[in-house]
């Protein structure tokens, strides 16, 4: 990746930005941060000549590597809804959704698993490893990471998280590696299930006792009115968020994120964030500068 074009900032401002990061670097040294990367978060930008990694993905990878380089322990959990939809369309299969969840028959499960584990996971791992041998891709099926059971709404092979066994993640983090998790889980018989990545990220953050849980999505944060960008909620609490879930402020893909944030901050995760993953370096801005971007959820 070519370095960013020189900014218009004068040297003292640039030095100021670096100095501003210092207290955050010290505070978050050794701390686990779970970052959920939505399939929608990476709005494809026009790649310029010579780019091998899609630019938005390259910017995300750079942020994760920087976090790891200054002592944080990032864990990436990803979805891939749009990418699953693309392959289904190419194969002539009609997607069906119920309550925001994909109805998953055996063929759809195969497609979801191939796309998430074989494509999206590889793309993220590849983008990070441009910077060195850092990322290790995993499915929730690996080393008993995510145990699943069938979702009660009879959606086929859509699973709920029954348990997260963090052992494999802890081993990787102890070696300064960056785990990248595709959210397929399996039950005791080895049956695979497609699991909502928002929910899975929250469960992983809880079990790891993460300091932060960060959702990168395709909207600048949580809005008080879904269609009004000026209604961005800058900061909220678990209780407020629970009320918003009850009163219909949230719909579609924001529901599992908000529900996971509420659960996480009540289970010991320090803070949860909902950010616009399309904003270049959203992660760095949120974690290492005074003014956050997006929505901050505190207990």
List contacts with ligand ADP (CB under 6 A): 38-41, 79, 81, 198, 217-219, 222-223, 226, 249-254
Closer CB to ligand ADP, residue 61 or residue 222? 222
Closer CB to Mg ion, residue 200 or residue 265? 200
- Taking the complex as a whole, how short is the minimal distance between the CB of residue 41 and ligand ADP, in angstroms? 5
Closer CB to Mg ion, residue 39 or residue 179? 39
Q: What is the C-alpha to C-alpha distance for residues 289 and 266, in angstroms, rounded to an integer?
A: 25
Residue 147 binding target from ligand ADP, Mg ion, none, CB below 5 to 8 Å by type: none
- Taking the complex as a whole, how short is the minimal distance between the CB of residue 189 and ligand ADP, in angstroms? 29
Q: Is 253 in the site for Mg ion (CB under 5 A)?
A: yes
Stretch binding Mg ion (CB under 5 A), from 89-97, 137-145, 230-238, 253-261: 253-261
Q: What is the C-alpha to C-alpha distance for residues 279 and 270, in angstroms, rounded to an integer?
A: 24
How would DSSP label each residue in 6-45? PPS--HHHHHHHHHHHHHHHHHTTT-EEEEEE-TTT-PPP
Q: What is the C-alpha to C-alpha distance for residues 113 and 237, in angstroms, rounded to an integer?
A: 35
- Taking the complex as a whole, how short is the minimal distance between the CB of residue 289 and Mg ion, in angstroms? 26
Q: Is 179 in the site for Mg ion (CB under 5 A)?
A: no
Q: What is the C-alpha to C-alpha distance for residues 74 and 257, in angstroms, rounded to an integer?
A: 19
E strands, the chain, in order: 32-37, 73-78, 97-98, 101-102, 135-139, 146-150, 158-164, 178-182, 184-186, 192-195, 212-217, 235-237, 271-276, 295-298
Residue 223 binding target from ligand ADP, Mg ion, none, CB below 5 to 8 Å by type: ligand ADP
Closer CB to ligand ADP, residue 146 or residue 219? 219
The residues of the shown chain that bind Mg ion, judged by CB under 5 A, are 253
């Amino acid at each position: 990746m070519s370095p960013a074009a020189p900014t218009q900032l004068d040297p003292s401002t640039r030095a100021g930005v670096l100095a501003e990061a210092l207290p955050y670097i010290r505070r978050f040294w050794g701390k686990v941060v779970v970052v959920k990367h939505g399939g929608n978060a990476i709005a494809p930008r026009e790649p310029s000549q010579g780019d091998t990694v899609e630019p938005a993905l390259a910017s995300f990878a750079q942020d994760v590597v920087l976090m790891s380089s200054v002592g944080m322990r990032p864990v990436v959990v990803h979805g891939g809804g749009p990418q699953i939809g693309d392959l289904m369309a190419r194969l002539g299969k009609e997607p069906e959704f119920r309550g925001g969840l994909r109805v998953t028959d055996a063929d759809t499960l195969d497609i979801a698993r191939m796309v998430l584990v074989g494509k999206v996971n590889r793309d993220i791992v590849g983008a990070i490893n441009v910077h060195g041998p850092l990322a290790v891709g995993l499915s929730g099926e690996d080393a008993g990471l995510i145990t699943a059971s069938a979702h009660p709404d009879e959606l086929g092979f859509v699973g709920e998280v029954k348990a997260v066994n963090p052992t494999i993640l802890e081993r990787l983090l102890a070696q300064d590696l960056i785990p990248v998790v595709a959210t397929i889980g399996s039950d005791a018989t080895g049956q695979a299930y497609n699991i909502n990545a928002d929910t899975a990220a929250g469960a992983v953050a809880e079990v790891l006792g993460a300091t932060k849980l960060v959702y990168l999505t395709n909207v600048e944060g949580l809005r008080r009115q879904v269609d009004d960008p000026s209604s961005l909620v800058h900061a909220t609490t678990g209780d407020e968020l629970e009320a918003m879930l009850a009163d219909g402020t949230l719909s579609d893909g924001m529901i599992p994120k908000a529900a996971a944030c509420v659960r996480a901050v009540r289970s010991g995760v320090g803070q949860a964030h909902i950010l616009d993953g399309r904003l270049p370096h959203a992660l760095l801005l949120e974690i290492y500068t005074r003014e956050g971007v997006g929505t901050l959820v505190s207990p």
